[in-house]
Amino acid sequence: MIDYRSDTVTRPTPGMLAFMQSAPVGDDVFGEDPSINSLERITAAKFGMEAGLFCPSGTMTNQLAIKTHTQAGDEVICDELSHIYQYEGGGIAFNAGCSVKLLHGDRGRVTAEQVLSGIHPEDVHKPISRLVSLENTSNRGGGACYNFNDFEAIKKITDQHGLALHLDGARIFNAIVHNNEASIEYGKIFDSISICLSKGLGAPVGSVLVGSNEFIKKARRWRKVFGGGMRQAGYLAAAGIYALEHQVERLADDHKNAKILSEALSKMEFVSSILGVETNIVIATIGGKYTAASFAAALKEKGILAIAMTPTQVRFVFHLDITESDLARTIDIIKTL
Ligand SMILES: *Cc1c(COP(=O)(O)O)cnc(C)c1O
């Protein structure tokens, strides 16, 4: 099977496994796991932040950030396609007791004007606007990236209104590679960033939350409350260190391959449109003889897995376990459908 369902399906490479096996470990709840301590330090430094916190999932790093920035009764401002709103089980309400102000952005990206319009003035009737959360790249937006200028404009607004600014950077390295950005610049904009190691970077498990010392100290406490305090998890952190050292630049290959697939798909009569490919995600709108589900089923019969995201959209995600020959085979098969 050639598996395009998600960039979470990757398996550790032999080099990664060897590095994991030799990792020094200790009890991380006591702060004594050297591998976790280095991963947290390395990741924070890359983003110009003071501290990091290793967690089992990106859902946990996002939810911890929301919980740490807010109080029950506050409101979180985000785009309607955001992972924190769409795919985290209602955690904003459950974990943080917050309501959500949804913005209607462009492929998951919002403007400073939209953020401003989402902030409530001081009014006893209204929830207190407390946190703005952005997503880069946008998953439901088909891997769309922000321009860094837009972050700066949004940061001005959140500063003026005393709001915290969080980034769901599950695929932040795809954006950094695509736009040739310096990761350290992100620390000047955001109060916290969630970074997934288990997506395109290819680690089996894990995400890191980065922010100020004070913020991470509070989030570490909430991580224990959430049940996310792990012990000798340095074996997993080592996979993250290896991924950051060896598996970032290659994301450019995924982006190139995603474009090639998108061009091939666009020639098929049953594909009515495709979201412009920026990074490693291709979302095609299916019409004519297939629905999204029947197209995904036809692909599956030929050994290709993709997700029918909506009744009309199929998603393909590129990652380090998809080779150029897998891509060539995929295109040959699609031409027969
Ligand atoms: C995958 C993902 C997450 C985190 O997901 P986990 O499966 O909990 O690690 C968060 N945000 C976005 C945009 C994602 O794609």
Pair (230, 309) in one structural domain: no
Give the per-residue pLDDT at 109.
98
In the three-class reduction of DSSP (H, G, I as helix; E, B as strand; rest coil), residue 259 is classed as helix
- Residues 35-76 pLDDT 10s: 999 999 999 999 999 999 999 999 999 999 999 999 999 999
Whether 168 lines ligand 1, by a CB cut-off of 6 Å, is: yes
Pair (235, 255) in one structural domain: no
* CATH of residue 17: 3.40.640.10
Residue nearest to atom 5 of ligand 1 (CA): 58
Pair (20, 145) in one structural domain: yes
Pair (265, 167) in one structural domain: no
Q: Domain for residue 5, yes or no? A: no
Pair (125, 39) in one structural domain: yes
What is the DSSP annotation of 122-170?
A: S-TTSPEEEEEEEESSBTTTTSB---HHHHHHHHHHHHHTT-EEEEEET
In the three-class reduction of DSSP (H, G, I as helix; E, B as strand; rest coil), residue 2 is classed as strand
Pair (133, 24) in one structural domain: yes
Tokens of 317: 């995600």
- Residues 270-285 pLDDT 10s: 999 999 999 999 999 9
Give the per-residue pLDDT at 185.
98
- Residues 230-286 pLDDT 10s: 999 999 999 999 999 999 999 999 999 999 999 999 999 999 999 999 999 999 999
Pair (77, 184) in one structural domain: yes
Q: Domain for residue 278, yes or no? A: yes
Spacing, Cα 269 to ligand 1 middle (Å): 33
Whether 175 lines ligand 1, by a CB cut-off of 6 Å, is: no
CA terminus-to-terminus distance, the chain: 17
Whether 170 lines ligand 1, by a CB cut-off of 6 Å, is: yes
Give the per-residue pLDDT at 93.
98
User: Where among 217, 246, 275 does a domain terminate?
Assistant: 246
161 CB neighbour count, 10 Å cutoff? 15
Pair (58, 178) in one structural domain: yes
Q: Which atom of ligand 1 is nearest to the CA of 135?
A: 13
Range of the domain at 55: 12-246
Residue nearest to atom 4 of ligand 1 (CA): 58
Pair (110, 198) in one structural domain: yes
| Global confidence as pTM | 0.97
Spacing, Cα 59 to ligand 1 middle (Å): 6
User: Where among 195, 212, 246 does a domain terminate?
Assistant: 246
Spacing, Cα 202 to ligand 1 middle (Å): 14
Q: Domain for residue 173, yes or no? A: yes
Pair (262, 237) in one structural domain: no
CA dist 188 to 38, 47, 156, 182, 207, Å? 22, 9, 12, 11, 21
* CATH of residue 327: 3.90.1150.10
Q: How far apart are CA 250 and CA 258, in angstroms?
A: 13
Residue nearest to atom 14 of ligand 1 (CA): 170
Give the per-residue pLDDT at 99.
98
Q: Domain for residue 199, yes or no? A: yes
- Residues 156-196 pLDDT 10s: 999 999 999 999 999 999 999 999 999 999 999 999 999 99
Give the per-residue pLDDT at 129.
98
Pair (67, 196) in one structural domain: yes
Average pLDDT for the chain: 98
Q: How far apart are CA 224 and CA 29, in angstroms?
A: 8
pLDDT class of 122 with cuts at 50, 70, 90: very high
Q: How far apart are CA 48 and CA 78, in angstroms?
A: 24
Q: Which atom of ligand 1 is nearest to the CA of 137?
A: 13
In the three-class reduction of DSSP (H, G, I as helix; E, B as strand; rest coil), residue 261 is classed as helix
Query: Nearest-5° angle of CA 69, CA 74, CA 78?
Result: 75
Hunting for tokens 């459950």 — which residue is that?
Answer: 94
User: Where among 207, 224, 246 does a domain terminate?
Assistant: 246
Residue nearest to atom 2 of ligand 1 (CA): 170
Pair (269, 208) in one structural domain: no
Q: Which atom of ligand 1 is nearest to the CA of 168?
A: 11
pLDDT class of 90 with cuts at 50, 70, 90: very high
Q: Which atom of ligand 1 is nearest to the CA of 207?
A: 9
Whether 200 lines ligand 1, by a CB cut-off of 6 Å, is: no
Give the per-residue pLDDT at 65.
98
Give the per-residue pLDDT at 270.
97
Q: Domain for residue 7, yes or no? A: no
Q: Domain for residue 210, yes or no? A: yes
Residue nearest to atom 6 of ligand 1 (CA): 58
